[in-house]
Structures are given as structure tokens and as C-alpha cells.
Chains A and B, each alone.
Chain A
């Protein structure tokens, strides 16, 4: 029975193929944009290594753009360190310190302003830094973390399904990670010229998060 169906299907397929006009009888022209896009796609498929290298180069350029300004404007900073560099894994963006560090910055920081309705939930030291957690009535957490530890420490933030935006916090370039799901927390990361990495996070409006970040003060 299966053979019979297969034979009928083959005959049907042949009949359809024969009923179609020959390609030379169908003059056609694709528009230039389509041709260009197809050309790019074919080149990508034909040269996967080149595509991967271009992607790596683009990522490196983005890192340079993000953290380059600190080194460009502060000569002492350039001599002291290279800085925290963002690396991307499947679900996380992680920040790792690269380069020589002349010594730890022992400066301490604290939030100088917190949004209305937030109260201190917890506060504890971490390696060469501190974590501050605030909560509101909706049990949402607003956090501030900083660390100046250059070695053996990495900072991971979960950035799957996020869009990224570059902006300025206290004169330093910062990276804002905004989740596509508006009910989830956004993360804002930046570093100062002494090699301290700052991270603020919360389920609040972008302007509130920036205001919170702009008001981080040195003790």
C-alpha cells in the first residue's frame, strides 16, 4: 500500500514539474537591495571564518568605545591600569580586570540618594567593595555594588534578552542593560579612573536608575 502511495506521489510531483514553465521563459529582475542582501548572505555562508573574525573585531571595537574614554581623558589612569573589560557568554555579560594595577583603591562609596519608598534591606562588604540593597513595598530590590578588586574576581550580570545603551554617569561612560521584559530589573555598569567598577540595578524607570547612579558618593 505504501509503495502505491509513493508511486502516486512521484507521478504527481513529475506532473507538477512538467507543467511549470522553463526558467528561460520567465524573464525576471530582482531589485538591487535584494541582490545585495543575497550576496551578503552567500558570502557569510561561504566564509564562516571571516564572518566570525569580523564579529570578534566588532566586539573588540565596542569594548574600546565603551571603556576608551576613561583612558583617553585621564593620563594617570592610563598609566595605572587598563581596566575592566566586558566579555560575553551565553547568558551573562561578565566584567574582568585586564592589565597592570599599581595598587588597590581603598576608597569607599555609598548612595547619596535613594528613590522614594525604598528602605535599606541589607548591606554587606564584598571583596574590596560593598553591596547595598534597598527594597520597596513591592518587594523589588534596588542594588548598588562596587568593587576595586582587580585580581581573581569577576562580575557577572544576566543579560539575556536585553538591549544595551551607552550613556554617561558622573562623567564616565556607562553601559545600560534594559531587559525586553519591562517587569524585570535593568543594570547600569561603569568604572572610574581608579579601576573601581560600579553596578546599580533595579526595576525602576531609566531616569531613576541614572539619578541613583549619579548620586553615588565617595566617603
Chain B
């Protein structure tokens, strides 16, 4: 009997983390965007969650080639509409990356690239 109880307890202990992991992921929509006005780059990221209780964290970075020239962070609930500006150089290509975390789960890097006219 004791063996059975021990086995059931072990099974429950193994299932708890699996259940918690399965309940966490969400399916956000992420729209990174980079716009230029003269030598000012406007870096925007729009993130939309699936629940009004989703907590969203964003780390946005602006790259000139392989050099990161700006890093920003922001957070919100359900949705996030981030926008910041940075002075850049004409003729150069810049990459905006957005790392999004939903409910504590990192979902990978998204990006958009643009050339300053």
C-alpha cells in the first residue's frame, strides 16, 4: 500500500512541471518597424497577446551592422506599442531586433531592417 502511495505521489510530482509548462506559452503577434525621417530613426514594436492578463516584456535593440547602438526595454499587459527614436547616419542600413517575453517565457528574436535614405 505504501509503495502504491509513493508511486502515485511520484507520478503527481512528475506531472506538475509538465502541466505548468504546457499552460504558459501564448501566441503573440509581433510587428517590428523602423522608419526614417532625415537622420532620425523611429524604432517601433507592436506586440499583441491572446489574453488581457498576458504580461509582455520587450527588449529592443538597434544595430548598425554588428554594433548595437541602442537598447531599450518596455513592458505591458495584453499589448505593447513601443516607439523610440535614435539619430542615425544617411546611407547606412540598420536592423531593429525585438526580443519578446510573454508570461515569463522568451519567444525568440524578431527583427526589421531599413536603410536611412
B53 within 8 A of A: yes
| CB atoms of A187 and B27 under 8 A apart | yes
Q: A143–B50 Cα gap in the complex (Å)? A: 8
A-B interface pairs (CB < 8 A), number: 107
By secondary structure, the A interface counts as: strand
| CB atoms of B52 and A153 under 8 A apart | no
B114 within 8 A of A: yes
Taking the nearest CB of chain B, how far is it from the CB of A163, in angstroms?
A: 13
| CB atoms of B29 and A155 under 8 A apart | yes
Point out the residues of chain B lying under 8 angstroms from A90, CB to CB: 108
Report how many residues on chain A are interfacial, defined by Cβ distance under 8 Å.
Answer: 39
Other-chain residue from B28, B30, B33, B53 in contact with A152 (beta carbon distance below 8 A): B33
Point out the residues of chain B lying under 8 angstroms from A12, CB to CB: none
Taking the nearest CB of chain A, how far is it from the CB of B73, in angstroms?
A: 19
Interface residues of A in 131-173 (CB under 8 A from B): 131, 133, 135, 139-141, 143, 145, 147, 149, 151-160
Q: How large is the interface on B (under 10, 10 to 19, 20 to 34, 35 or more residues)?
A: 20 to 34
The closest CB in chain A to the CB of B34 belongs to A152
Q: Which of A45-53, A65-73, A101-109, A177-185 is the interface stretch? A: A177-185
Starting from the known contacts A133-B78, A156-B29, 18 additional A-B residue pairs (CB-CB under 8 Å) come to A92-B108, A121-B78, A126-B33, A127-B35, A139-B52, A140-B51, A141-B48, A141-B54, A143-B29, A145-B46, A153-B34, A154-B110, A154-B112, A158-B25, A181-B22, A184-B50, A185-B27, A201-B27
Contact surface of B with A, Cβ cutoff 8 Å: 22, 25-35, 44, 46, 48-54, 78-79, 81, 107-108, 110-114
